[in-house]
Amino acid sequence: MLYLNPNAKLSPYPSSLQRVMNIETARQTRTWLQAWTGLRSGPTPLYDMAMLADRLGIGQLALKDESVRSPLASFKALGAPAALIRYILCKYKDQGMDPAKVLRGQYASTLASETVISATDGNHGRALAAAARDAGCRCVIVLHAHVSEERERAIADFGAQIVRINGNYDDSVNVAAEQATQNGWQVISDTSYEGYETIPRDVMQGYGVIADEIFEQDIARGHEGYTHVFLQGGVGGLAAGIASYFWEKLGDKRPALYVVEPTQADCLQQSAMLGRAAKATGSVDSVMAGLACGETSPLAWTFLESSIDAFITIEDHEAVTAMSALARCPDVPVVSGESGAAGLAGLCNILTQEIATGRLKIDGTSRVLLINTEGATAPSVYRELTGEDADDVLQRQRDHLADI
């Protein structure tokens, strides 16, 4: 389903929002994270998918590949670590800590008594567990009933204590908040709620690093920018982090910004329809585990309510089809997880509708940006859905890039 946002507008980036998230802080965060050995050196690839663009009937298609951001294989490797650094710097501000040294474990003795906690669908918890381990903190992760044992093991491998609950993601958020209050722990989450906005802001600011790299890479290759950008939904954190950067950088010349989410986890589309942060209308149980969120983050919504031009819901089978399309892409094979492929699935979805070439103006002149937000974060699920191992796709990718 496609819903055009009646409250979207082309205008300069509001100063009220700039005080919360801004390009300057995104660049500062990028500098801090460059010192962490948990991330790859340098920006993630920005691929030109010319043959896929031709097949889809659009002018240009670029794909930012976050699957290789780190061994965590997800963009989440930017958010939780960034927020953890800022939390530690704030709490221990009298000790003059160097932000670049926090995740190198140089303050581990000081931080040994610190415990951080979060709910997760998998990737955020894994990123927090990895960052906490390297900083020297204790980490507790709350998992809901739909998180697979495979994803649980991947988190536990970083030393996190796992708390299992019945219910869905939103239930796990509530349990994490309760556990933090009872034990004096600190929640590190990208989901905001009443009285809890600073850390979600810092998580979202970490995602702004992706946009900072994109602009830098486009300048280096002489690219003229994008007409349309597709962003994954979830609680809205990634979309807010990227959209706010584009909005501040380009003002009323920003591209059309679209958000894609599962039909059964349509909290952002419902928010647009109701004019406030709202809950999903469906079961929330989706193969797109990272986007299976039932409730919009209120803080993220303050950025999305006026910047997102349309909200697109897709079926699980559309995401699976997009995963396979990227794995076999003639431009460059890409390992894209269930949520990572949602942007391509959303683009393909609306290209079947007459409104695409009409009001949305997606045609042979369009320059479209997609972000592959994750790789095979659950290898067995990837194999089941695509019919091949992620390692085989990666080998095809290496062979392809070696021939260029």
CB of 390 within 8 A of CB of 335? yes
3-state secondary structure (DSSP) of residue 206: helix
Query: Does residue 76 have an active-site annotation?
Result: yes
Q: What is the DSSP letter of 343?
A: H
Query: Got the DSSP string for 233-262?
Result: -TTSHHHHHHHHHHHHHHGGGPPEEEEEEE
DSSP SS3 for 46:
strand
Which CA distances in Å does 339 have to 171, 289, 390?
Answer: 21, 7, 15
- Can 65 be counted among the known catalytic residues? no
| Angstrom distance (rounded) from CA 269 to CA 296 | 10
- The strand pair at 161-164 and 138-143 is best described as parallel
- 48: helix, coil or strand? strand
β-pairing, 161-164 vs 228-232, is unpaired
Of 64, 76, 190, 309, which residue is the catalytic one? 76
Which among 391, 266, 387, 378 has a CA at the least distance from the CA of 320? 387
Which one is catalytic: 121, 170, 202, 266? 121
Helix (H) or strand (E) holding 25: helix 23-33
Catalytic residues: 76, 121
